[in-house]
């Protein structure tokens, strides 16, 4: 049985990916900060073998310790899904909160690096890494500054990782979603549910399961096939800030 390691597995795209890969016959290493949610998910996925890790990807020592202590039956990793990440705030650069900047760069960029570095010694030829990017990594938009920069870093890291890991026979892909309805907007707007809901007003956004389907497709391709970059929009979206809402007719 192949093993998939998923970060940010307690909610959203990470959780949906765990469900999709369990159905595809993977055993799972599920990492996240919220232990209770991970335990509930593990119960729902039974009888799929699951190992839980509780850490914040921004904490390098915690990542390294957790991965080093994986039990023998989960010691070899076939698939790594670098899903954990965050968006905080939506302000022009001159008004940005430095704490928000740190959270995004530490989680979206450094966290991806910490986890990848820890897991790669456990991955052999045929392994696959999927990094969760965003359309924000391809298109700048007003007040997106540091978030856009962090996701642009994910896009470039994915490309360079693909080159570096080619001799080892490890494939590396990026999935870059557009508008997906998860906890993303609530986190960005610091719990302001009304403001978060307005992001999706008049639009049928993607759901976490839609992105999980794409990830599941990527990691189940034959060994000679590599999907390098996949951008996924809902039908009502054409670009980062080009969205047809119901009120537009």
pTM of the model: 0.94
Give the CATH number for residue 126.
3.40.50.720
Q: How confident is the model at residue 200, as a pLDDT?
A: 87
Q: How confident is the model at residue 203, as a pLDDT?
A: 92
pLDDT at 192 over 90: no
pLDDT at 188 over 90: no
The domain of 20 spans 3-248
pLDDT digits (tens, 9 = 90+) for 238-249: 999 999 999 755
Q: How confident is the model at residue 199, as a pLDDT?
A: 84
Residue spans of alpha helices (H) in 6-93: 12-23, 35-45, 60-68
DSSP 64: H
Active-site residue (options: 114, 138, 147, 200): 147
147 noted as active-site residue: yes
Q: How confident is the model at residue 248, as a pLDDT?
A: 52
Report how far residue 128's alpha carbon sits from residue 209's, in angstroms, rounded to the nearest whole number: 20
Q: How confident is the model at residue 182, as a pLDDT?
A: 85
Higher pLDDT, residue 35 or 197 = 35
CA 17, 18, 21: angle at the middle one, nearest 5? 80
pLDDT digits (tens, 9 = 90+) for 210-237: 999 999 999 999 999 999 999 999 999 9
HSE-up of residue 94 (Cα within 13 Å, Cβ side): 0
pLDDT at 191 over 80: no
Q: Are 54 and 32 a contacting pair, CB within 8 Å? A: yes
Residue 134, preceding peptide bond in cis (omega within 30° of 0): no
DSSP 139: S
pLDDT digits (tens, 9 = 90+) for 82-133: 999 999 999 999 999 999 999 999 999 999 999 999 999 999 999 999 999 9
Q: How confident is the model at residue 198, as a pLDDT?
A: 79
Mean pLDDT (whole number) for 44-60: 98
Mean pLDDT for the chain overall:
95
Higher pLDDT, residue 185 or 17 = 17
pLDDT at 190 over 90: no
- DSSP per-residue letters across 132-192: E--GGGTS--TT-HHHHHHHHHHHHHHHHHHHHHGGGT-EEEEEEESSEESSHHHHHTTT-
For residue 228, count other CB atoms closer than 10 A to its CB: 12
Q: Tell me the torsion sign for CA atoms 229, 118, 124, 167.
A: positive
Chain centroid, CA 24 distance in Å: 19
Q: What percent of the chain has pLDDT over 70?
A: 97
Rg of the Cα trace of the chain? 18
Nearest to 103 by CA among 150, 52, 63: 150
Q: Are 74 and 29 a contacting pair, CB within 8 Å? A: yes
Task: Work out how many domains the chain is built from and give that number.
Answer: 1
Report how far residue 50's alpha carbon sits from residue 156's, in angstroms, rounded to the nearest whole number: 31
The angle that helices 145-165 and 111-119 make with each other, rounded to 10 degrees, is: 20
Q: Confidence band (pLDDT; 50, 70, 90) for 147?
A: very high
């Amino acid at each position: 049985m192949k093993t998939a390691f998923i970060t940010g597995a307690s909610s959203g795209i990470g959780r949906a990916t765990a469900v999709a890969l369990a159905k595809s016959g993977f055993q799972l290493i599920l990492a996240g900060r919220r232990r209770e949610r991970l335990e509930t998910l593990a119960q729902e996925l039974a009888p799929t073998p699951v190992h839980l890790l509780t850490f914040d990807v921004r904490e390098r020592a915690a990542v390294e310790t957790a991965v080093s202590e994986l039990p023998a039956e989960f010691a070899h990793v076939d698939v790594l899904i670098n899903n954990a990440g965050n968006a905080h705030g939506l302000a022009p650069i001159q008004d940005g909160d430095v704490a928000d900047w740190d959270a995004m760069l530490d989680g979206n960029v450094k966290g991806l690096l910490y986890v990848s570095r820890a897991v790669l010694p456990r991955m052999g030829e045929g392994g696959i890494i999927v990094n969760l990017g965003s359309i924000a990594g391809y298109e700048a938009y007003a007040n997106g500054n540091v978030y856009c920069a962090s996701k642009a870093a994910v896009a470039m890291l994915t490309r360079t990782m693909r080159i570096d890991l080619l001799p080892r026979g490890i494939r590396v892909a990026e999935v870059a979603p557009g508008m997906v309805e998860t906890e993303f907007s609530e986190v960005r707007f610091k719990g302001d549910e009304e403001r978060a809901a307005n992001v999706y007003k008049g639009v049928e956004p993607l759901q976490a399961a839609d992105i999980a389907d794409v990830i599941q497709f990527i990691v189940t391709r034959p060994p000679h096939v590599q999907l390098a970059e996949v951008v996924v929009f809902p039908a009502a979206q054409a670009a980062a800030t080009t969205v047809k809402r119901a009120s537009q007719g």
